[in-house]
Structure 1
Amino acid sequence: MDPILLLKALILGIVEGLTEFLPISSTGHLIIVGSLLDYTDEQSKVFKIVIQLGAILAVCWHFRERIGQALGGLASDPVQQRFASLLLVGFLPAAVLGVLFHSTIKTYLFNPVTVALALIGGGLLILYIEKRAYHPRVQAVDDMGWKDALKVGFAQSIAMFPGVSRSGATIMGGLMFGLSRKAATEFSFFLAIPTMFAATVYDVAKNWQLLRLEDLPVFSVGFVASFVAAMLTVKALLRFISNHTFIGFAWYRIVFGCVVLLTAWTGAVQWQAG
């Protein structure tokens, strides 16, 4: 196996794990870093599906007790039934809109320049939301109503555009709709589970013909790197939100997006579609 290809897998796995649950867009970073590493071929499409699965399994492991309670109480516990219904309501907008527009968006918007524009626009929106008066009315996920879940679900659907960030859209949407930072962040994690599993199944179904046994070492390296990096990121983010805003992430998005646009405009980097 090509050691350079394994190194690319390691780098991209770490990038996926670090960025999937931060409000900075994992898809956008994978497109940009993949372009820099010249890893944009057919194999890379399946590889990105595999490392995304690694990241979501990390969240499942982190919240395994809460997930176990929910699954165990579905048949008889009203609290767990209500929790599951909130996730279903939040999941539906992205599921419906994803089926309708996923292919079109991937065809026309998966390139570094559109990602850079989305990074900048999302960064400016985070700055706006963080500067608003903040009076949360929902302190915990279990206090949410179905309307809260639906609003966050529609916010999540905006993240179909690469560079927006699924976690950024759900967390900042939650803050706009009256959720506390803790409730918005935790619901973003929980909502990621059905959303990302569905996206993974959908992408595998569309690209199953690209699966090859000889790619297993590359996929394994990326999967493990993504899982470990995501585990560390989830724990760090939950600690971070207790006494910090997301303004730092906003400025990171804006600066990073401007750098990509500048290199594209000057020709310093020959960006490729991801």
Structure 2
Amino acid sequence: MDYLQAILIAIVEGVTEYLPVSSTAHMIFTSSFFGIQEDDFVKLFQVSIQFGAILAVVVLYWEKFFDFSKINFYIKLACAVIPALILGKIFDEKIDAILGDPIPIAIVLILGGIVLLFIDGRFNNPTVVNEEDITIKKAVTIGFWQCLAMMPGTSRSAASIIGGMQQGLTRQTAAEFSFFLAVPTMLAVTTYSLFLKTYEASQLKGYELLTQSSDNLKMFLLGNAVAFIVAVIAIKFFIGIIKKYGFKPWGYYRIISGILLLAYFFLNK
């Protein structure tokens, strides 16, 4: 992977991480389309640049994250992230195996799109308008919904937003809580990938892959910077779209993208 390819993947991550379209699927397909060899460093890069996207949420909602007088906010996020931490560790190897096969990921992309076409009509009587009204029980339930995104192609954002709406949250409140929940979730995933996980081919930890060469470290820093800038724009754009149009546009996008990607991979087998 060269610097231009690293920038392209980071742009894709920044655009798609907080949209209900699956950032993992888009990064995998981008890598395949541009002929990027999927070695251990590329796998690490695709996960670790989520750190830049995390910073985007913290910066945009800094008053929420640094209001230490509201301890319940932190407790809810901590409780909501527990299911993903436990199940993510249990299914880590199975998730890696699926990442190598783009066909089921494209199919999940389509199925998730169909769900989004009907989600607005299904949960159209919200009772929770403010984050302060989300109970710990609701937060944990949303955390379990988020775990559906362990199947690549599902979209962490889509799963947690749907979970929020199922728990009575408005579209905007569900989307914003999904953003908040992304911070501890992706921070945990990034930390695990950098410091705890041993990559199969190289038998190295993530930080060892980064420090293996100056180019690896520079691409990591560049990728996070690009993902941060693009994610800031994408979050603002997404909130505006769901306020006005709901989730149908993203449903159609997922279906069309999934069909095109299936066609691409079948034709290039």
User: TM-score scaled to structure 2, two decimals?
Assistant: 0.91
- Residues in 2 aligned to 1:130 and 1:225: alpha-carbon distance in whole angstroms: 32
CA contact (8 A) 1:174 1:184 kept: yes
Tell me the SS of whatever aligns to 1:124.
helix
CA contact (8 A) 2:49 2:224 kept: yes
Please list the CA deviations of residues 32-71 of structure 1 after superposition, one character each: whole Å capped at 9, or x if unmatched: 11111222122212211331111111111111111110xx
- Residues in 2 aligned to 1:105 and 1:247: alpha-carbon distance in whole angstroms: 28
Query: 1:111 Cα shift?
Result: 2.5
Equivalent residue runs for 1:1-274 within 5 Å: 5-39=2-36, 40-69=38-67, 72-73=68-69, 80-132=70-122, 134-204=124-194, 205-206=196-197, 207-208=205-206, 209-211=208-210, 212-214=212-214, 215-265=216-266, 267=267, 269-270=268-269
Query: 1:137 Cα shift?
Result: 0.8
- Residues in 2 aligned to 1:101 and 1:43: alpha-carbon distance in whole angstroms: 21
- Percent of aligned positions that are identical: 38
CA contact (8 A) 1:140 1:182 kept: no
User: TM-score scaled to structure 1, two decimals?
Assistant: 0.89
- Residues in 1 aligned to 2:47 and 2:246: alpha-carbon distance in whole angstroms: 30
Q: 1:218 to 1:245 in 2, by over 3 A?
A: same
- Residues in 1 aligned to 2:80 and 2:100: alpha-carbon distance in whole angstroms: 25
Query: 1:97 Cα shift?
Result: 0.6
CA contact (8 A) 2:123 2:168 kept: no
CA contact (8 A) 1:129 1:176 kept: no
- Residues in 2 aligned to 1:164 and 1:46: alpha-carbon distance in whole angstroms: 20
Aligned amino acid, residue 185 of structure 1: A
- Residues in 2 aligned to 1:110 and 1:244: alpha-carbon distance in whole angstroms: 34
Aligned amino acid, residue 13 of structure 2: E
Unaligned runs of 5+ in 1: 74-79
- Residues in 1 aligned to 2:242 and 2:251: alpha-carbon distance in whole angstroms: 14
Aligned amino acid, residue 7 of structure 1: L
- Residues in 2 aligned to 1:54 and 1:135: alpha-carbon distance in whole angstroms: 35
| 1:76 matched residue in structure 2 | none
CA contact (8 A) 1:109 1:161 kept: no
Moved segments of 4+, more than 6 Å: none
Query: 1:94 Cα shift?
Result: 0.9
Count of equivalent residues: 257
Q: What's the C-alpha RMSD, in Å, of the aligned pairs?
A: 1.5
- Residues in 1 aligned to 2:132 and 2:243: alpha-carbon distance in whole angstroms: 18
Please list the CA deviations of residues 76-110 of structure 1 after superposition, one character each: whole Å capped at 9, or x if unmatched: xxxx1221121122111111111111221212344
Aligned amino acid, residue 262 of structure 1: A
Query: 1:213 Cα shift?
Result: 3.5
